[in-house]
Amino acid sequence: MLPRLQIVIASTRPGRIGPAIAHWFHGFAIKHGQFDAHLVDLADIGLPLYDEPNHPMRRQYTKDHTKAFSTLVKAADATVFVSPEYNYSPPPSLVNAIDYLFWEWQYMPIGVVSYGGVSGGLRAAQALRLMASTLKMVPLPEGVALPNVFTQIKDGVFAANELNEQGAAALLNEMQKWTSALAGLRAGIRAL
């Protein structure tokens, strides 16, 4: 059985381009063949601004949306966040989603496909890695940065170039190693 990889579309704003990029990466991950890859769209999940009365460390969820999100994240073996850069940071929708949970994120290898202008979202990716490490996620240094991404989107479809595909392959190759290495720890999280 292949490990489950969740590819999370982080932006929820109208007019976003994240889905086009995520669909490309999802297709690439399927062709890579080492993961059971699934798309997760934060816009579809629709988490409100954090509204649980208890700290997520307690896992005393009272809201159905939190319970469903907990189940979704706990089922994953690895996660790739497809994230734009908003003012040198990940979008608030992603920060909010990460803050909803605590235990479910632990020992999960994560990668970032970042996009934006000249920087390709790298500043947001670094901020995301720092946040992730606080929750005991394992952020990989390999990633895919897409500078001036609008030039690669035609009719709502992202057209990857050779460098994008090399970055995606490097990320998935390394993620496969870490997913295997962390499998025992992730199994413990699922037992909670």
pLDDT value for 191:
82
Q: HSE-up of 149 (CA within 13 Å, CB side)?
A: 28
- Rounded Cα distance, 30 and 38, in Å: 9
Q: Assign a CATH topology to domain 4-190.
A: Rossmann fold (3.40.50)
Interval 126-146 mean pLDDT: 97
Interval 179-192 mean pLDDT: 91
Q: HSE-up of 52 (CA within 13 Å, CB side)?
A: 23
CB 74 within 8 A of CB 190: yes
Q: Is the pLDDT of residue 148 over 90?
A: yes
Burial-class residue 52 by CB neighbours within 10 Å (0-12, 13-18, 19+): middle
Going from N- to C-terminal start, the domains of the chain cover 4-190
pLDDT value for 163:
97
The rounded Cα 83 to chain-centroid distance in angstroms is: 8
- pLDDT tens by residue, 89-116: 999 999 999 999 999 999 999 999 999 9
163: part of which helix (H) or strand (E)? helix 162-181
